[in-house]
Amino acid sequence: MAKQVSICVIGSGYVGLVAAACFADMGHKVICVDNDEARVKLLCEGGVPIFEEHLPELLAKHRGRSVVFTSNLGEAVEESEAVFIAVGTPQGDSGAADLSYVEAVVAEIARMIKNYTVIVEKSTVPVYTNDWIRRVLHRHGVGKDRFDVVSNPEFLREGTAVVDFLHPDRIVVGASNEQSAEILRRIYEPLTEGSYYAQPDAIQGCCTMAQPARMLVTTPQSAEIIKHASNAFLAMKISFINAVANLAEAVDADVEDIAKGIGLDSRIGSRFLHAGLGYGGSCFPKDVAAFHWVAQERGVNFQLLNEVRKINETQREVFFNKVRSALWTLRGKRLAALGLAFKGETDDIRESPSIEIIKKLLRAGALVTAYDPAAMEHAKETLATEENLKYAENVYEAAQDADAVLILTDWKEFAAIDLERLIRAVRFPIIIDGRNLYEPAEMQKRGFTYVSMGRQSSYQGLEAKPHKMPA
Ligand code: NAD
């Protein structure tokens, strides 16, 4: 049995809450802190503030026993051997990460440290944040023998966060000495030795007793860069296939076939080669910008990252122009917008391409009815001032009398629409699919005019291929 470690997790968002629940499931004693009193109250009373598979059952199992919630950071730090910082690191005006939440937390931690404590950067931060945390602790009078700072970036994806956390491709630990690395080894031992996977009620995934999770120990700087470089690389793959999609369309090729052909090369791999509206969310956009900023600061030319961002922004324009090409004018047109979250299986709408596109359509005079399986409450707050935007309870209600149906998020539910019911609901059978969830030939057979990304569109009867609208 691995030794239990007392852990404090600061921040109960997508990363902090998932980490807290998973550490508890791994056998540790966890205090999860947030300065959002309403969120702490909700968590204490049994609520789950984010939409993530397995999270409700893990919280139900451990809440009040091996994981507790509080807004009292001081007490939580005092009682913990390791303090994980999992607060937000949003994009600042210059493109650099805004680290003020991290600094504020470190200043608070400094007042409370009594015994040797490992401070762990779980938030995504630029290289040398580790040094800054050390410096802030010194400035607040914490002796250097009372703490170490370790980088332990998180690679989970929203929508599959719990499984990703407990079955990671790798656990990266950036430590400057053995003492602090050892505490992280103890924390992750149930995953790296495999004992977690032998538990009868363990969350299932790709790791097993025989093939447990791998840990890579590096310097703090390398660990910090691994996280930024990983996200930038994945964003680059998405922008690459989107640029290929636009080319494919211009030469009557099919990006789905091309992606398959590229992805079968084991050196490249098929993941993150899905043409669409581009990446969004709280991570890729800001991490690409922050990584680019770090390179610029150090005098390193990393222009590639700027191009990745530009291609991503272009995809929204590309889609908007497809809507205009299919519908001619937009004023007064009724559009069903399927999807508000930045990707399927999450309620997160931060930097969602869908939200940006809906706003643009509304500016152009369209009347939009939106539906999302989980993100409607968040969207209602963000889009509260929008007139001409309504919400529906399901796909078919959204599509009622619509001039066109737009697929904006790759929810599994949207890949399994009852097309016969849909065609009865709409005014015109036109689907503009920003996520390539259907086969053009099949959609044509079913009676739809179907426009997607990087593929030839299929039209019905007299609907000749329309001219591309000027940008
Ligand atoms: P989030 O906004 O969902 O959660 C952050 C939480 O921190 C909020 O609940 C907020 O109230 C709390 N907080 C802020 N200041 C605080 C303070 N002083 N004391 C206590 N709590 C405080 O953010 P997130 O999506 O969980 O991301 C956190 C970090 O992890 C970011 O750096 C992000 O880039 C990184 N990350 C996110 C993901 C993801 O998929 N969301 C994946 C990997 C890494």
203 secondary structure, DSSP code: P
pLDDT for 461 equals 72
CA distance 452 to 456: 8
Evaluate whether 9 touches 23 at the Cβ level (below 8 Å).
yes
Interval 117-173: pLDDT, tens: 999 999 999 999 999 999 999 999 999 999 999 999 999 999 999 999 999 999 999
CA distance 370 to 361: 12
Residues of the chain above pLDDT 90, percent: 96
Q: Is the pLDDT of residue 259 over 60?
A: yes
pLDDT for 196 equals 98
More confident residue, 99 or 468: 99
pLDDT for 460 equals 80
Q: Is 283 noted as a catalytic residue in this protein?
A: yes
Q: Is the pLDDT of residue 468 over 90?
A: no
Reading the block at residue 86, the tokens are 């999992």
Catalytic residue among 8, 22, 32, 283: 283
CA distances from residue 398 to 316, 331, 450 in whole angstroms, order as listed: 21, 18, 18
Mean pLDDT computed over 367-381: 97
Q: Is 87 in the pocket of ligand 1 (CB under 6 A)?
A: yes
pLDDT for 1 equals 57
Domain ranges within the chain, ordered by starting residue: 6-218, 227-309
Evaluate whether 71 touches 8 at the Cβ level (below 8 Å).
no
Mean pLDDT computed over 108-116: 94
Q: Is 33 in the pocket of ligand 1 (CB under 6 A)?
A: yes
Q: Is the pLDDT of residue 466 over 80?
A: no
Mean pLDDT computed over 447-462: 90
Q: Is the pLDDT of residue 114 over 80?
A: yes
- The distance from CA 296 to its chain's CA centroid, rounded to whole angstroms, is 25
Q: Which residues of 137-148 are buried (b: 16+ CB within 10 A; e: fewer)?
A: beeeebeeeebb
Q: Is 104 in the pocket of ligand 1 (CB under 6 A)?
A: yes
Evaluate whether 373 touches 413 at the Cβ level (below 8 Å).
yes
Q: Is 16 in the pocket of ligand 1 (CB under 6 A)?
A: yes
pLDDT for 391 equals 98
List the beta bridge partners of residue 149.
119
Q: Can you name the CATH fold of 6-218?
A: Rossmann fold (3.40.50)
Question: Residue 143: which residues within 8 A CB-CB, separation 6 or more?
Answer: none
Q: Mean pLDDT score of the chain, rounded to an integer?
A: 96
Question: Residue 200: which residues within 8 A CB-CB, separation 6 or more?
Answer: none
Interval 198-220: pLDDT, tens: 999 999 999 999 999 999 999 99
CA distance 118 to 148: 5
Residues of the chain above pLDDT 70, percent: 97
Query: Among 123, 282, 284, 378, which residue has the most ligand 1 atoms within 8 Å of its CB, making it the best to mutate?
Result: 282
6-218 with 227-309: one CATH topology?
no
Q: Is the pLDDT of residue 319 over 60?
A: yes
Q: Which CATH class is domain 227-309?
A: mainly alpha
CA distance between the termini of the chain: 63
